Each structure stands twice: as structure tokens, then as C-alpha cells.
Structure 1
């Protein structure tokens, strides 16, 4: 402690520092860091040099797949620089090169997406008596590129029905940046939303939008994350699409961005729409867009024909 700083100031600073790590996953960060500290104690490590970190992650590479190894690195890095030792291991070039090398050839599994025709087919053919809640979740999820958590936490106060469009606010996001999107009256989408909202029991005390729905009726129980995350697989199962399990909760967000890419929307707009800070993430959807690849191929062939 600095002699010029009182214990009160030091304590306040420590509390502030402890809040720098993500609240929801704080326990995971502590586990990763404590595992590293235990390993260092077993090896009698006194200084966290680059060779020490290389040895640690090299040993862990035998037990973890590439994505998990990177996650472990990220958590240990955050703990070392933010909370405990003020050491920035991101400046260890050999360590970074090693981690990248372990990831050669690795491709993370991504959720499958729903096409525009598949979405339209489900909305028009699925029976409202059984699938109305699924339809509304699908509409809002696609329209707003919503994460599962964002749909789960959506309240009736977050939605303003001004006739057309429907204005939807997402106040709490992963990036801490609120988003607003609208739903226009295409394919009777607003009618489906209003029908679902009209079935809300008058005695419901909470304001969560999504309530459990069965046989044409809503209960007062709010829909949980697991049920909400299964919306894409329910849609895929109804449409008899292959690999139903590959339509995960992230499908709605990926489908939304891909539909925009297929429509020729620029990266900046896609990034703003979905609330991404990283251009790289948004670019991934453009690269995977079949429509975009087709346009590029046509341009290439056209150039060849001109010559």
C-alpha cells in the first residue's frame, strides 16, 4: 500500500478492480486462474515468464481443444493483468504464435441458418394453436438479430405498437450497447404478434413478454432460456430439415445477418443492426453468404468475358 493512500482508498480501489471481470462468468475466470496458480506452485514457479506460460499452455494443449485453450488463455490473461499481478501475457509473441499454431485447421461449429423461404413457409403453414409463441419468437429474433438472452428478457414495456412498424427496444445487450429495431407488417407478422399478446392472462404480475403457450393459451409462467433457445430447432423439425440439432439458439442471430448479407447490405449496416463491435465477426456472415458468393462469381465471369 502506498503510504499516501488510506486503507479506505485502497479498499475502494480493490472493490472497483474486482468488478472489472465479467459478472456472469467471474467464477470461470477464478477457476482458470487458480488452476494456473496451482500448476505454478507445483512447479515452484516464482516469475511468470514467457517460458512459464508456454510450458503451461503446452501441457494444457494435450487436454483441451483449440477453442477451449484460447478461452483459458483469455481468462488467465485477464486475471493476470486486471486483478492480480499486472502482467500482460498478450505481449508474449512466442506464446501467441504457439496458441495460433494449435488452432491450425480448426473451425468452430456454427449454427445452421434459416432461409427466407423456410421462414415464410413455417409462418404460413404451422398451426397457430400449437406454434404461435414459436412464430413470435422467430419473427422478433430474425428481425432484431436477437440473442437468446435478449428474447428471454424482453418485456411488454420494451415494445411499442404504433400500428406499423412495431418498435422494439433491447435495453440490455452483451456489448452493453442498447439496440432498437422495428418489425413491419410483412406476411401478417404484426397480426401474429398482436394475437399472441392478446392471450396474455390479466393476472400476470411480471412484464416478461414470452409466456409458456399450449393449446392456444398462455400461462403466467415466463419462457426460460432453454425453451427459447430451441425455437430454431423446433422450426427446423417442423420443416423436416436435416440436422435439426444444428439449429441452435444462435440460429436466429446468424440467419438475420445472413439475410442482410444476401440482400447486399454493407458491413457497417450489418454490424450496427446486430450490435457487433467487431467488423471481423460481421464479415464472416458475408463470406458465408451463398447469394454474395454468387454475385462475386458472376462479376468474375463477366470480367473474363469482357477480356
Structure 2
């Protein structure tokens, strides 16, 4: 009877591993599951191939640029500022919610943003430069806020800010709002963690090292940061070149002395991939 009940329970719950775990915890309170070998075999069969995907989807650079350039400020200005700061600083949802105007310093050519309280207890500082009118968007939003409210993010509608601060749930919906506007598939998969994951992924794809990624995201361990570097497009391309083409990433230095009498009309570079060239001109 006990085995039959367990089978029916699994059948009517679509055999999801999370619910099976709950069932097993309940069973352990009364009997040892090791006494039911057929139940164990059944659970293994039904759970075969199951993968639980908890990771949020990410926004690509082109998608971020498209939203910032095409979305109407009258409706999406607060969303744009949240997107900019979240991506620039790999911010968690609660970090954005708790940001105040005193945490941000406008130095003219950039913004210096301080996050004093983080999940890992490691304060972070990041910058926002004037790319794609990001500073203009921030200053425009700041000018519309009531000056007496310290919290940065306030409810925004029809080009006006209220005095009510934005909560965690609203802030966590920013990625899904962006995805919905861009008509991306699986909008619900763009969770509040999307901004942080997108930021670190863009950094890893740019080819930065693990130490920089750890410092940027405020991680103490290299395990998570290493995963982003491992899975980055830039890193996989580099590995593919090493395996299929035989190219390496070792540095090659070549010095060419050019005088006024033998200045070449042009310089050709062939079969170069991810190379850096330093040109020094001495007069």
C-alpha cells in the first residue's frame, strides 16, 4: 500500500524532482526508504535526464543597446537607468533597491557608484561612462525626482516620478520588461538576477581574467567566476583556434626599426587573430 501511494503521488505531480524530494523527506520521517527497493528504482527511472534550470537568461550587448536607443523615455526612463546601473555594476536586485542619491557621484565625464552593503560583505565601487547617452539618461531621471527623497529609484509613470520608492519585486522585473519590449522568447526566464549575470558574461566575453571578474562582482571564491570565463565566447573561440588551427596565445614580440629613408607605404598583417600591436614613433 505504501509503495502504491508513492507511485500515485509521483504520477499526479508530473514527476518533478523538487516534489519528489519533498515526498522523500516526508517518507523519512516515518520509515526508511532503503526498505523499498522498487520505489528507489522507480524514482531513479522517472528522474533520468531531468535538468533543473535555475539560471536566468542574459541580455546581450546588442539587445541592451537596442532597448536604450528605441524605448520611449516617457515610459521606460526608470527602467533604462536601472538597466544601466545593474549592467555596469553587476548589481543584485536588493543592491539597486537600496541605492541612494548619496551613493552616486557625478564627476562630469562619468558616474562613480558606491555599493556599501552587499551580500558578500564586500563593498564595491563601479563607474558608468558616457556611452550611448547613459549619463544623459541618468541626469534626466535625476532631475525628475523629488529632491527630498534619498532613495534613487522611485515609481515613474508618464514622465513623472512619485515619492514612493520602488520595491524589490518591481526592480526584479526590469529584465523581463526589457525582454518583453524587445519581443524576446521566454520573457519569464529573464529574472532579477539577469542584470548581474549579463554584466559578468559581457565581461568574460571581453576576455578579462578571473581576478577582474571577482573584483567586479564582489565574489570571494574563484569557482563562480571561473565558470563564466570557462563558458565565455571569447575563451571558447580561443580554445577552438588552439585545437583546430594550432594557434596559441603566447606573446610574440617583434621589433622593426624604421628610419625616415625607408618608411613603408603600407604594412600588411595576415593570419592574425586576437593580436595586439604596439606602435612606437620616435621623432
Q: Which TM-score applies when normalising by structure 1?
A: 0.64
Does 2:234 match 1:276? no
Spell out, residue by residue over 1:29-48, the C-alpha distance to the aligned partner (whole angstroms, 9 max, x if none).
xxxxxxxxxxxxxxxxxxxx
How far apart are residue 164 of structure 1 and its match? Answer: 1.5
Equivalent of 1:198 in 116, 140, 143? 143
Q: Which residue of 1 aligns with 2:42?
A: none
User: Which runs of no fewer than 5 residues in structure 1 stay unpaired?
Assistant: 1-59, 69-101
The structure richer in helix per residue is 1
Q: Following the alignment from structure 1 to structure 2, what is the Cα–Cα distance between the partners of residues 302 and 65? A: 52
Instruction: Show structure 1 runs of 4+ deviating over 4 A.
Output: 102-108
Which of the two has higher C-alpha Rg? Answer: 2
Q: Which residue of 2 aligns with 1:184?
A: 129
Does 2:108 match 1:171? no
Change in CA separation of 1:65 and 1:143 when aligned onto 2, cut-off 3 Å: farther
Contact 2:95–2:115 (Cα < 8 Å) also in 1: yes
How far apart are residue 105 of structure 1 and its match? Answer: 7.0
Q: Which residue of 1 aligns with 2:97?
A: 152
Q: Following the alignment from structure 1 to structure 2, what is the Cα–Cα distance between the partners of residues 141 and 216? A: 21
List aligned pairs for 1:1-307, cutoff 5 A. 62-64=20-22, 107-202=52-147, 204=148, 206-303=149-246
Change in CA separation of 1:286 and 1:107 when aligned onto 2, cut-off 3 Å: farther
Q: Following the alignment from structure 1 to structure 2, what is the Cα–Cα distance between the partners of residues 263 and 187? A: 18
User: Which runs of no fewer than 5 residues in structure 2 stay unpaired?
Assistant: 1-17, 26-46, 249-283
Change in CA separation of 1:301 and 1:128 when aligned onto 2, cut-off 3 Å: same
Q: Which TM-score applies when normalising by structure 2?
A: 0.69
Change in CA separation of 1:304 and 1:292 when aligned onto 2, cut-off 3 Å: closer
Q: Which residue of 2 aligns with 1:39?
A: none
Spell out, residue by residue over 1:204-227, the C-alpha distance to the aligned partner (whole angstroms, 9 max, x if none).
4x3100000000000000000000
Q: Which residue of 2 aligns with 1:78?
A: none
